[in-house]
Amino acid sequence: MLRKVNFISSCFTMAHQCSCGDIHNDVELGIQYNLYQKIDTGNVECLNEYEEGSGVTVFRSWESRLDRDKFVESDVDDELLFNIPFTANIKLKGLIIIGGENNLHPNKVKLYKNRPRMTFDDVTIEPEQEFELCVDTNGIHEYSPKIVKFSSVHHLSLHFTGIDRTERIKIYYIGLKGEWLPAHHHGVTICTYELHPQMSDQPKKNIEDVNRTIS
């Protein structure tokens, strides 16, 4: 006697809790956090990084966010400043941060829109938005920028600071979620202007009137 067995495929979601106290599900986050592909990585700047070139490594796929071999650590104090140019205009909708262990975790981040090549002298300017950061070792806590302020972004600056009296900060992953539009490049239009109008430019009716008057 043959028995008919029904196989039911179940979909399991992973739930995690970070220091904010909420439970987060990681459903579809990997699909949404793909703006790292639109970063002009060759021109990313990270000021005060301990190891040169390490700052750009924190921008990668959400699936590889838990890679602890790639990180950036600050050098002389507890500040890091990222200048992030994009290859297209983006609409920023989400931000995920995985920071370092214990006191190496950044405490705050300020977001600045379309201010290329910022320095630490510029961070006294009021940012478009600021977040206090929670400890999120799994990379599932989302910070939500105000879309009305980040709807047309070609350059994003992120200024991270640590807790008071912290010597250094460390970041493993920065995830960016949103939409993008290809940048438009407008060509130069060359116009030639004539100082004296040509006879061919005159209305036909006016030419006939002149001929009639002469005859």
Which pair of structure tokens corresponds to residue 35?
């703006």
Residue 33 falls inside a structural domain: yes
Task: Answer whether 175's CB lies under 8 Å from 139's CB.
Answer: yes
Q: Which residues pair with 182 in a beta bridge?
A: 88
CATH number of the domain that residue 114 is part of = 2.60.120.470
State whether residue 27 is helix, strand or coil: coil
- Its pTM stands at 0.76
Residue 153 falls inside a structural domain: yes
pLDDT of residue 11: 33
Residue 145 falls inside a structural domain: yes
Which pair of structure tokens corresponds to residue 212?
């009639």
DSSP 206: H
Residue 12 falls inside a structural domain: no
Task: Answer whether 149's CB lies under 8 Å from 114's CB.
Answer: no
Q: Which whole-number Å values give the CA distances from 84 to 59, 71, 76, 124, 154, in the listed order?
A: 10, 16, 22, 19, 9
Chunked mean pLDDT (size 10), the chain, 215 residues = 37 51 58 92 98 98 94 96 97 96 94 97 97 93 95 97 89 96 56 47 50 50
Residue 202 falls inside a structural domain: no
Q: Is 53 left (phi over 0), alpha (psi -120 to 50) or beta?
A: left
pLDDT of residue 43: 98
Residue 197 falls inside a structural domain: no
pLDDT of residue 78: 95
Strands (E) across the chain are located at 15-17, 23-25, 45-47, 72-73, 79-99, 108-113, 129-132, 153-161, 170-182
pLDDT of residue 73: 98
pLDDT of residue 35: 95
Residue 143 falls inside a structural domain: yes
The structural domain count of the chain equals 1
Residue 203 falls inside a structural domain: no
State whether residue 37 is helix, strand or coil: helix
Q: Which residues span the domain enclosing 47?
A: 18-182
